[in-house]
Amino acid sequence: MAGTNPYISATLVEKPTQPYQITILFEDEPHTFTVDPNEIPYDRSGLPGSILDICEGHHIALEHTCGGVLACSTCHVIVREGLESCNEATDDELDQLEEAPGNTARSRLGCQCVPNGSRSVVIEVPLWNRNAVKETPHD
């Protein structure tokens, strides 16, 4: 790479230190499981411990067209409960969310939203994205 980079680019994330429950609402029923901090990261998608990372680790294939690198808004989710336990959205994430249909005050990108585990979290996959979510085969 060329150029001298005096900047550090990183998203401030408080990683969970204790197990917590997360519920994903899609397919007309809640899918609830426990997030174990020791298992993070589950996958290679999104920030470690992000909603996308957790979904991938629990066989829920949340759409993430860009590969979870904050370059699209296809992993748009709505944090129904526990938003206060999640890291703050960056300006870049908010920019991408503006492109998402049905953007709400509780909207986040699944690849960037990391709960800190201080309370349970309930995540809704927006209606227009639900057919993009599927349960993948378990081992």
Partner 1 sequence: MTDVQTAVLEAARVLAPDVREITLRPDAPAPLTYQPGQWISLRLPVGEKPPLIRAYSMATPASQDGRLTLCFDRIEGGIGSEYLWTAEPGLAMEFSGPVGNFTLPETDSDLVFVAQHTGIVPFRAMLHLLATDPAFGRSGRRVHLVYGTKRQEDLVYHEELAAMSRRVSWLDYHPVVLEGAPLDTAATGSESDVLAAHAATWIPFVPMVCGVREFTLPTRSFFMEQLGFERRAVKVENYNGPAAR
Q: Is 41 helix (H, G, I), strand (E, B) or coil?
A: coil
Min separation Cβ 84 and partner 1, Å: 19
Min separation Cβ 69 and partner 1, Å: 4
Min separation Cβ 82 and partner 1, Å: 19
Binding site for partner 1 (CB under 8 A): 1-7, 9-13, 15, 43-49, 56, 63-72, 74, 90-92, 95, 99, 111-112, 114, 131-132, 134, 136
Given the complex with partner 1, which of 2 and 105 has the nearer CB atom? 2
Burial tier of 131 (Cβ tally within 10 Å: 0-12, 13-18, 19+): exposed
d(CA 16, CA 132): 28
Given the complex with partner 1, which of 6 and 29 has the nearer CB atom? 6
Phi, psi of 74, rounded to the nearest 5 degrees: -70, -15
Dihedral over alpha carbons 37, 42, 44, 50 (to 10 degrees): -50
Min separation Cβ 52 and partner 1, Å: 10
